[in-house]
Structure 1
Amino acid sequence: MGIKKLLGHRFLFVLVIVATCALTWVSLSRIVIPVDVKVEGSDKIAHFIAYFGFTSIWFFFLFFSEKLNKTFKRSLIIASILCVLFGMLMEVLQALLTSYRSSEWYDVMANTSGTIFVVFIFIVFKNKLIKLKQISR
């Protein structure tokens, strides 16, 4: 699969829909782990990694989609705000809709930390991402 297809609107649109549905499902479903894992903070690391990936996918969709034609800064701001709000919504829904999931502000902080880390990484690689966008056109 070529870079143009990977960064094309259709592929990125499907990817963002699948990622959003998957994260919603994981956030609201009962997760059974067959092995008793007792690593302090492992849950927060999972939140960080999930929102690092989630924010990245949303940024790629907004920035690289030829139909949306967003600037780097606008894509990063929209993706960041959207993902932080989504993380907060999932925590609220866990409290309202489930009896088997707990809503924690530490989870919101871990989600937000993953998003903020993506922002810093993408700012560092801004010029490379802009060049990649030009190549993919």
Structure 2
Amino acid sequence: MQKRIKNLFKDNFYIIAILITITIAYLSLMRMPKLKESFNNIDKVYHLSAYFALSICWLFSFYKKKSLKYVIVISCIIFGIIIEVLQATLTVYRTGDYKDVLANTLGILLGLFVFNQILKKITVNSY
């Protein structure tokens, strides 16, 4: 079962990463309906989750090129900043927020941490 899952994702991480990137950009710039929030700043959890998924997918897309790891992380952070700037400048119904940038960055760093732990486990188990 694990081999089938591994083979399914092996060549598709690029596609998944591109789709997540496009989805985040689209959802970040479109008009969203007002939702009743169950607690304040729930959107920060959404930001953290989205950018966690973004970073994990891009990191696994290039996992064999370990030298690109930090380039990917920095690129994801810059992408998050650009999206926030675009929200503030291109739309009248969305606002850019530095707290969103912090939540995005935290999600990316969490993704890097999880990625490193998974690679460590894979490396240890392969010997």
TM-score normalised according to structure 1 size: 0.79
Partner of 1:23: 24
Query: Does the aligned pair in 1 maintain the 2:14–2:57 contact within 8 Å?
Result: no
Q: Does 1:70 align with 2:65?
A: yes
Q: Pick closer, same or farther for the CA change 1:17–1:131 going to 2, 3 Å.
A: farther
TM-score normalised according to structure 2 size: 0.85
Q: Does 1:112 align with 2:105?
A: yes
Structure 1 residue runs without a partner (length 5+):
64-68
Partner of 1:55: 55
Amino acid at match of 2:65: K
**In structure 1, what is the Cα distance between the partners aligned to 2:123 and 2:10?**
13
**In structure 1, what is the Cα distance between the partners aligned to 2:14 and 2:116?**
23
**In structure 1, what is the Cα distance between the partners aligned to 2:104 and 2:57?**
14
**In structure 1, what is the Cα distance between the partners aligned to 2:118 and 2:13?**
20
Deviations 1:25-72 (A, max 9, x none): 011011114x42241120111111111111101111111xxxxx412x
SS of the equivalent of 2:62 reads: helix
Q: How many residues align?
A: 123
**In structure 1, what is the Cα distance between the partners aligned to 2:52 and 2:89?**
25
Aligned to 2:9, which of 6, 15, 18?
A: 6
**In structure 1, what is the Cα distance between the partners aligned to 2:76 and 2:123?**
22
Backbone CA RMSD of aligned residues: 2.1
Q: Does 1:126 align with 2:119?
A: yes
Structure 2 residue runs without a partner (length 5+):
none
Q: Pick closer, same or farther for the CA change 1:96–1:18 going to 2, 3 Å.
A: same
Amino acid at match of 2:21: T
**In structure 1, what is the Cα distance between the partners aligned to 2:57 and 2:7?**
16
Q: Does 1:97 align with 2:90?
A: yes
Alpha-carbon offset, residue 127 of structure 1: 1.9
Alpha-carbon offset, residue 130 of structure 1: 4.3
